[in-house]
Amino acid sequence: MKVATYQTDPVLLDIKANLEDTISKIHHAKENKADLIVFPELALTGYFVGEKYHEVALQIESKEIKKLTLATKGTAAIVGFIEESKSMNFYNSALIAVDGEVLFAYRKLNLPNYGVFEEKKYFSNGKRVSTFRLLGYNLSVFICNDMWHPALPYLGICQKADIFITIFNSSQGSMGNEFNNIESWKIINRFYSRVFGIYNICVNRVGIERCFEKRERMKNTEEDEDAPYRFWGGSEIINPFGKQIAKAELYKPDMIFAEISRDLLRRKKILLPYLRDDEPHFTCRELNRILYGKK
């Protein structure tokens, strides 16, 4: 299976421009025979949407989503966007579209609510870790902070995932000067591949945005109210042995391609069968004991 990833620089709050750019890249990837095309978290809106989140939210039935889905005829794509449900809840979601049809939208489960992050202020949490089949592989999708909670990737593995799709928006400065986001994501991406024996397709964005909510709070202070956050890109594809097989540029839009090998997945399971004796029923039983005191 041939995979393409595009680390984009979305225009903040401009659905039209971002949608056109995304569709253009899907067509480009199809010309290069890509079977799966992956875009970053919130690729259709940008990250710091603030209180305007509802102005750029899309329902699955919207004309924009239908246009995007139609472009996937003959391939598959995963695209980050803000989803509005029929009950008017809003989610940080990833659209999964295959061969011109919507499979589902994965909704981010762990919403950060610290530092410059205020997702929980605007978005609802997702409710499940789902997998889907594509060309004989099982895939699990995760969005950014989901990967900082190891129980969630494990739930993907319990559903026999072969490939993780990790989409995120990671910027410099968002976690302070004592925390290196680039280094941390490098460790996370490789950790899950090595321990679980899966491919990890990791897609970050690039560009500069300003945190509008923070800017409002910082008025009349000595801090720079227009402090920008620079998204660093560096998207990568990691094989089941934790080895990088494709790497995008830092700080500028880029695309990468890679081939997914079933033989390599099989070889990892034979040489290092970490999960052969894993017992999800034991995990479930222990959680029941811990949470509810059940023996």
Q: Domain locations in the chain? A: 2-292
pLDDT (tens digit, 9 = 90+) per residue, 114-160? 878 899 999 999 999 999 999 999 999 999 999 999 999 999 999 99
| Pair of tokens at residue 62 | 């919207």
SS (H, E, C) 93-158: EEEEEECCEEEEEEECCCCCCCCCCCHHHHCCCCCCCCEEEECCEEEEEEEHHHHHCCHHHHHHHH
Q: Is 41 a catalytic residue?
A: yes
CATH for 2-292, options being 3.40.1160.10, 3.10.450.50, 3.60.110.10, 1.10.260.40: 3.60.110.10
Cβ–Cβ under 8 Å, residues 13 and 49: yes
Confidence check: pLDDT of 94 > 60: yes
* Active-site residue (options: 41, 83, 84, 119): 41
Distance CA 151, CA 137 (A): 21
Q: Mean pLDDT throughout 21-39? A: 98
Distance CA 155, CA 161 (A): 9
Q: What is the dihedral of CA 184, 42, 95, 75, to 10 degrees?
A: -80
Q: Mean pLDDT throughout 174-202? A: 90
* Active-site residue (options: 30, 83, 84, 108): 108
Cβ–Cβ under 8 Å, residues 99 and 75: yes
90-101 as b/e: b if 16+ CB within 10 A: bbbbbbbbbeee
Closest CA to 39 of 258, 243, 239, 255: 255
- Region for 169 from its dihedrals, namely left if φ exceeds 0, alpha if ψ lies in -120 to 50, beta otherwise: beta
| Pair of tokens at residue 210 | 């300003």
Q: Is 158 a catalytic residue?
A: no
Q: Give the pLDDT band (50/70/90) at residue 210.
A: confident
Closest CA to 244 of 199, 203, 205: 199
Q: What is the mean pLDDT of the chain?
A: 93
pLDDT (tens digit, 9 = 90+) per residue, 258-290? 999 999 999 999 999 989 889 999 999 999 999
Contacts of the segment 16-19: beta carbons below 8 A, 24+ positions apart:
18/43, 18/44, 18/45, 18/46, 19/44, 19/64, 19/67, 19/68
Closest CA to 250 of 270, 236, 229: 236
Q: Is 247 a catalytic residue?
A: no
* Active-site residue (options: 144, 202, 209, 236): 144
Question: Can you give the pLDDT at residue 227?
Answer: 57
